[in-house]
Amino acid sequence: MSSVTADTPRLDFAGSPINKALTAEQKIELFRKMVRIRRFEQIALKYYNAGRIGGFLHLYIGQESVAVGTLSLCGENDHNITAYRCHGHAIMSGMEMNPLMAELFGKATGCSKGKGGSMHFFAPDKNFWGGHGIVGGQTPLGLGLAYGLKYLGREGAALCYLGDGAVNQGAFHESLNIAALFELPVVYVIENNGYSMGTSQKRSSSYRGCLAQRAEGYDMEWDVIDGSDLYEVRAKTHIALERARKEHKPAILEINTYRYYGHSIADANHKKYRSPEEIEDYKTNFDPIRLWRKRLVAEGIITDEQLDAIDKEAAAEATAAVKFAEESPIPTIESIMDDVYWETDNQTPASKIGQHFFTD
């Protein structure tokens, strides 16, 4: 992000085949997806501040184009997995707002029955293998999804998201080596928002040109993408995904983006390590939703009023999800012991052999 300014001339990716193929409806749908993520989170933020949501809340606001741009390219054979900043990927994977909001509220109707929280959304039925709490810990899992696809002789590729801070974990490097060595259909997407908590990319990583270039050491393809341009995200990710699907070749994509809020909402420090000017500049000049909006209007597909209406719908959907969450029951104490072992949940004969639980 740092080397790009509002006036930097940009290539236009609207004409690339994958974008040219988009209908007006599909373009509007991309807008709807981005605002649904943003509205969901803005309302979650409000209720977090009101003490209704526990633990951490890592907001994705500012980065919506990454999940929406990349996952809009995925079909029923493709899979994805990410870290704890997972709301955007979950919504984009097709998860409904009600169970997501209920999860944040710690309710039994949550997508993980109140057991996972903000960092641990999952929907394997939608090929979304979750949010994961250990930095870099999901990167070998993404590799495993790709290995599984290839082993099982299935079509498709795996998208594995990570932050710019996570690139320094050993697990990521080990994953890259295996990905290239075994020729696995995995695309690593580094969501480079410039910071890992309060540490800027420059203070956390040693690199030459960019983080994705590390792929070269593993004889792997890579690219760098401007995350404020949905067309560019789609055009370049499409190439990597097709290569993964058809040739079983992995890749690293580094998508430059920005988060507007602190690392988590508990991060009271975030105005100290980033200047207000920097945040404002991004919001004004690079906001992916704002730019997509302008684009759609310029293309004559839709009016500002119609877009406002879509935005309103998204906000109403999120508000309704809060109502659902508020009215949902809390988990029972006994439920703490559910979902630990498959066999005890299903009361199979094996569940009666030996003792599974040891309390006090």
Ligand X SMILES: Cc1ncc(C[n+]2csc(CCOP(=O)(O)OP(=O)(O)O)c2C)c(N)n1
Identify the residue among 72, 82, 93, 196 touching ligand X (CB under 6 A): 196
Show contacts with ligand X in window 238-277 (CB under 6 A).
Answer: 263
Residue 274 binds other proteins (CB under 8 A): no
Least distance (Å) between residue 58 CB and ligand X = 6
Residue 205 binds other proteins (CB under 8 A): yes
Identify the residue among 99, 106, 185, 288 touching other proteins (CB under 8 A): 106
Q: Which of 123, 207, 129, 125 is nearest to 165 (CA)?
A: 207
Number of residues counted as binding other proteins (CB under 8 A)? 48
Site string for ligand X, 60-89 (x = CB under 6 A): -------------------------x----
Identify the residue among 16, 22, 42, 133 touching ligand X (CB under 6 A): 133
Q: Which residue lies nearer to other proteins by CB, 182 or 273? A: 273
Residue 87 binds other proteins (CB under 8 A): no
Q: Choose the contact partner of 303 out of other proteins, ligand X, none; CB within 5 to 8 A by kind.
A: none
Question: Site residues (CB under 8 A) for other proteins?
Answer: 53-56, 103, 106-107, 112, 114-117, 119-120, 132-137, 165-166, 168-171, 196-199, 203-205, 269, 272-273, 330-333, 336-337, 339-340, 357-360
Question: Site residues (CB under 6 A) for ligand X?
Answer: 85, 133-135, 163-166, 191, 193, 195-197, 263
